[in-house]
Amino acid sequence: MQLACVVIAGVALLGGSRLLPEILRISDEKSLRYTDVSVEGAPPIVAIGTAIGALRGLIVDYLWIKTNIMKEKGLFFEAMADAALITKLQPRFGDVWGFHGHNMTYNISVMTDTPQERWEWVRAGFNLIRDEGLRYNPNDLILHKELAFMMAHKLDGVADDAHLYYKREFAREWQLLLGVPPLSFADRIQWIATIKDAPHTIDELEVREPGVKQLLEELRSNLAGFDARFQFRLDKDFLMNLGRWEAVQSSRYAKLLGLEATFKRNDPVYLALDTVLSKPESREALAKFLPFLRRKVLLESLNMDPALMWQYTRDFGPFDWRHPQSHAFYWSHKGTTTAAKRSEAPDDIYKVLNNDRVNIQAMQALARTGLMGYDVFSSDNPSRLNDPRWIKAIDRYFGDLYRKHYGTRGGGGDTFCDFYQNYMTQAVRELYRFGDMEGAQEILVKLDNLFGRGGLVPNNKYEAPLEVFVRNTTYGEYGLAPDVARSDVYAALQRGFREGLLLDRPKVLEEALKFARDLTDYFQSSQIADFVNKFGERRMAALIGDLRTSIRDVFANVLVDPSQPLMDRLTIYNRAGEAERRMVYDLVRGPMEVEYSLDPVSQMVPFAQVLPEPPGMEEHRLAVAAEEARRREAEETSRRSKAESR
């Protein structure tokens, strides 16, 4: 009997070994697992988990139930410990990676006391999902969406009190890693292509670029005497140090503060790098070495593929990787493409639909704030201006999404139609104010063909001439919500000052002033503002004062807005006309001087030099005082007249 059992066991083992390759081939082909290759990405502890056998499933189930109970009780640190154990025992369990990362990013982070501590937890949360969870579960669509949501909501949103700190730190890290991207779209595509096409190995690079070998030998020699963590290694820390050295060479803050000399005196690692890199013959070799190291770090440390980054830039728009929404798009779109085979079932298609919503919402956010500027040595927030290049990218992408989800249950295609119609209606106004009449007209015609006279229920909403459409679209809201008029005037002027002056686009400011003037005139003369209450006041008209007052208030607000970089605001002030500067000088001088005194630059450059008093201020002050006296006298006369009439 025992001999028969041994024979049967041997036959079964032999048969199983013959069937296993075919089983693995089919599971790979049909995407029945969370990786494309059966042995890919498993950590060493999986061997221990495998040895446990069926008991591992029971342990994971117990820990997962316990983790959720502790989360419900608010015991987030305890839940994190068990979640970490689950990820080791069952690294293919995508939900627990998402739970673990979300717990750190949202629950534990808000229990800390400082922005720095909070940022460490937030970053640890999305790093865990990106660097570990998605390596073990590269085909998990929900995990991709979870990471994309964190980037879009936690980093780029405003719900967290520390969101400005997150934006600064995220921009700083990615600027040190990849440098400052070029402004032009074509140059940006080529910039990321240089990283994508860099040699795959250091040996290949040294053969292709002989100067690199000499550069690396000198760097290795100069760093040999330092602590182990500062030794020459082809890793993220070394790239960050190189990025810091490069940033010093171009940073205006570094020049104003004399940081290069300070680093040379006080930072031996910086001095060791500078001794080599400052040589003229090293610059060309460094330019060849950096794309290689950036490619290596992206793939090995950050789990991001430069080939995909280039492809997305080429096919969609000018991504700036210092912006969290660029990463939100990357991860959501990568999830949709890599997990497509796993989500073809009708019950799973909603996952793809939600992911695609994140994609186009990220593009919308980049259209509104994607034009970035940042100095890594400043304490300012990154400047984030509208980037209208994304409007046409969204226009193209909408067609792809609509065709893709035309038959998706739950009105999938209609979801994107609603988004497109609402966003593109605003885009017509935006391009019109930018002065791109041709682009605005092109979108207006398309809206008419899709949702107007060519729509399912034909209507004439989009048949008006461009200027009339912009006016009607804007003004049509004021009867129902008059406060929108003030918001529109302020928004147009704010954008005009920020983009027209900061980016030296006079047409933008000119269009903003014209829009504000036309809207002010319309509002003040319409029936909306004509109502006089029992106290003799035009209550609704007060929503928008005269244009001069609006310009003064908005310009002053732009200059004292701490969410924008101080250097940018000083640039805006100094590029404005004398009349505008006179309007706001006395209003902004106090708060800006206090803010400037906290900036290290104030030790080098006096405040009067960066915010000079405009000529004619004394005459302006006298005129303002006289105007105020006349207003008071008119009010007093009116009061006496009413008293006498009683």
Of the two residues 155 and 482, the one the predictor is more confident about is: 155
What is the reported pLDDT for 55? 57
Q: Is the confidence at residue 141, as pLDDT, over 50?
A: yes
Using CA atoms, how far apart are residues 570 and 580, in angstroms rounded to an integer? Answer: 14
What is the reported pLDDT for 542? 41
Q: Is the confidence at residue 588, as pLDDT, over 70?
A: yes
What is the reported pLDDT for 45? 46
What is the reported pLDDT for 642? 57
- The percent of residues in the chain predicted with pLDDT above 90, rounded, is 31
Q: What backbone torsions phi and psi does residue 564 show, to the nearest 5 degrees?
A: -105, 145
By three-state DSSP, how is residue 278 classified?
Answer: coil
Q: Is the confidence at residue 630, as pLDDT, over 60?
A: yes
Per the rule left: phi > 0, alpha: psi between -120 and 50, beta: everything else, 31 is left
| Average pLDDT estimate for 112-141 | 88
606-628 pLDDT, tens per residue? 999 999 999 999 998 888 878 77
Strand partners for 373 = 383
Q: Write 409-416 long-range contacts (CB < 8 A, 24+).
A: 409/346, 409/349, 410/350, 410/353, 412/349, 412/353, 415/353, 415/357, 416/356, 416/360
Of the two residues 563 and 137, the one the predictor is more confident about is: 137
- Dump the DSSP string for 333-402: HHHHHHTGGGG-STTTHHHHHHHHHHHHHHHHHHHHH-EEE--TTS-SPPEEE--THHHHHHHHHHHHHH
What is the reported pLDDT for 384? 81
Least confident of 78-92, 310-324, 484-498, 585-599: 78-92
**Residue 224 carries which DSSP code?**
T
Least confident of 75-79, 124-128, 134-138, 592-596: 75-79
pTM for the whole structure: 0.76
Using CA atoms, how far apart are residues 532 and 481, in angstroms rounded to an integer? Answer: 18
Of the two residues 553 and 56, the one the predictor is more confident about is: 553
Instruction: Centre a 10 Å sphere on the Cβ of residue 196 and count the other Cβ atoms it contains.
Output: 18
173-188 pLDDT, tens per residue? 999 999 999 888 999 9
Compute CA distances 273 → 244, 474, 516, whole Å: 10, 56, 53
What is the reported pLDDT for 26? 47
Q: Is the confidence at residue 550, as pLDDT, over 90?
A: no
Q: Is the confidence at residue 555, as pLDDT, over 70?
A: yes
What is the reported pLDDT for 286? 93
Q: Which of 230-244, 337-351, 521-535 has the highest mean pLDDT?
A: 230-244
Angle of helix 412-434 relative to helix 349-369, nearest 10 degrees, comes to 10
Using CA atoms, how far apart are residues 222 and 277, in angstroms rounded to an integer? Answer: 11
Q: Is the confidence at residue 543, as pLDDT, over 60?
A: no
Of the two residues 254 and 579, the one the predictor is more confident about is: 579
Q: Is the confidence at residue 278, as pLDDT, over 80?
A: yes
| Average pLDDT estimate for 424-434 | 81
What is the reported pLDDT for 5? 62
Using CA atoms, how far apart are residues 202 and 185, in angstroms rounded to an integer? Answer: 30
| Average pLDDT estimate for 226-254 | 84
CA angle at 106 for the pair 379 and 141, rounded to the nearest 5°: 110
Using CA atoms, how far apart are residues 341 and 35, in angstroms rounded to an integer? Answer: 12
Q: Write 48-53 long-range contacts (CB < 8 A, 24+).
A: 49/88, 49/89, 49/90, 52/89
Question: Which pLDDT band, with edges at 50, 70 and 90, does 323 fall under?
Answer: very high
What is the reported pLDDT for 253? 77
- Would you state the structure tokens that stand for residue 34, as one six-digit string? 């969370």
What is the reported pLDDT for 501? 92
For the chain, the structural domain boundaries read: 1-30, 36-137, 182-312, 388-475, 480-615
What is the reported pLDDT for 151? 95
CB-CB contact of 360 with 152 (8 Å): no
Average pLDDT, the chain: 81
Q: Is the confidence at residue 159, as pLDDT, over 90?
A: no
**Dihedral (Cα; 407, 411, 412, 416), 10-degree rounding:** 120
Of the two residues 320 and 109, the one the predictor is more confident about is: 320
398-415 pLDDT, tens per residue? 888 888 887 776 667 777
- The percent of residues in the chain predicted with pLDDT above 70, rounded, is 76
Task: Write down how long the chain is.
Answer: 646
